[in-house]
Structure 1
Amino acid sequence: MNLSAANHWIPLSDGNSIPIIGLGTYSDPKPIPRQTYTSVKAAIDAGYRHIDGASLYHNEHEVGEAIREKLAEGKVKREEIFYCGKLWSTKHDPEMVRPALEKTLKTLKLDYIDLYIIEMPMTFKPGEEFYPKDENGKWLYDKSDLPATWEAMEACKDAGLVKSLGVSNFNRRQLELILNKPGLKYKPVTNQVECHPYFTQPKLWKFCQQHDIVIVAYSPLGTCRNPSWVNISSPPLLKDEILNSLGRKYNKTAAQVALRFNIQRGIVVIPKSFHPERLKENFQIFDFSLTEEEMKSVEALNKNTRFVDLLIWSDHPEYPFHEEY
């Protein structure tokens, strides 16, 4: 793959394509106003063309405003921007899928998005409450019917509201529920999962390759060290000696080495940063490459440990991480 800052799109199985690096826009439940707007504008100026968002992040209005501003300036054309939105777990009911996507489009003020994915295979009690709980603080789950949800996603593609469809946090069995669905019209083109040198996902990656599903890596640099939702038993990825020594060799940071490792595997990366300098730095991964031997040494760092283990939902019947992959 001859990727460059100017041309770093890779093909998807449905005939569309996806930029191999994107900007993640996840922010805490109470985002700092305008932070996302400023970051998305800075990212587009730096060369990013892929923005990863979600209604769950409560900042899609800022993402949309930033994209529209850059379109109006003539900095980019709409077809040069790739936006990924997500269907949240309280909207899996087939009747709710299209209205959820339409709400995203209305918030972004765009006519279509490029990729719409089921954010998690776990279904929660349908409704407007993102995190439904009963009066005792117990999670309110609902029975999942992923093939039915997928059919409603397919109808959104047929209606021209979205170009490509994918999933996130799905294990092999859950992917097979969709792939083996009778009357399947469109198969998932992506599976967005945690993936980085400490968690290389070899088996899931191989399975996805066999089915022409591109892996999109969230937390490609590890993640924040917030013990309320992050497994901090693994040391911080970016302090790793091998990543840092390779960084010194190429005059790059450990983060740039970690991102380069994934894109050389054909894995899309969506590092999140609201820091203008880091945001630029993360994009500067097209002017060096790791040798086969160096790739193997980074691969060998795999500890098979998730930072984002979502254990708060581990009693959900469709919790995806009980299975090996």
Structure 2
Amino acid sequence: MSSLFALNPEELVTKLKLEKKFQGKQIYAHLVKGDTDFALMSDLSKALRERLIEEFHSPLSSQVIDKSESDSATKLAIRLEDHKVIECVLLTDGEGRKTACLSSQVGCAMGCKFCKTGTMGLIRNLEAYEIVEQFIHLLKLAPELTHIVFMGMGEPLANFGQVIKAIGFIHDPKGINISLRRITISTCGLVPGIQKLSEINLPIRLAISLVSADNHTRSSLMKVNEAFPLQELKASLLNYQHIADKRITLEYCMLKGINTDEQAAKDLSYFMHGLDAVVNLIAWNPIEELNYETPSVQEIDFFTNQLDKLHLHYTLRYSKGRDISGACGQLAAKQD
């Protein structure tokens, strides 16, 4: 069985070999509303409904196999058609805003030392429909969903084409209609991918997992820095901002005794010079298999005081979903 999600009306006509083009538009209208029961698509002919049920059972190719909940987050484990498992998370902030945290790959090749997904290695890229289906599963939990972050499993810019195709389906004003300005792509710093984003100039938001503004420290934590060191990363961000004219978020995962001293703050200030950026501070989320520690409140206070002295713009984010292993860096679904 294959999925009908992420297909536009014309592609549906071709895939389903429909006799009439308007039938593709009818099916598309149901898909973008998250309808997953062909039998209830009453505007379709009975013969077409029966054919769809027989051939596809459901527009979805995936199924939810586990659900973990906390006050601020709900994590879903989703089994794909090939029995691989991915995770996505519904996040709720203090004002009640709902955000879908989506995965772009099964596993990840980036191997960031502090991230659980990185321990899996890359199994494969997700297809656009597998990305869209995560959103549909979360939309069923929270129809008021308004924001999307690509901060789940995988490196989005390493699966550029499928991520952009999925965004196109979710954004379509005739369909789900999530504003591009409410979609954030987070990358570990793949410079070629950032350059591609600059070229297509979509008004989405860009976040960079920085972690350290010192090349030696960052390379010891993130092997991507060996290929694209900080000076190359900054040049790509300056070019991106020249074209996109949008503020960039620098995600800074604080690790005890590693990146929270006075020099780390100065390095960060130097890197940010000339960039329109805000630093998003978040304490490392504990992962049993990894040999790092979460900084104490005192250590975090010291670091933020250093940032204040340097007049850096930052936010201190409290992790959602930590208690269900659904927070940043904690996603790593068990595979069969």
TM-score by length of 1: 0.43
Compute the TM-score of the two structures, normalised by the length of structure 2. 0.42
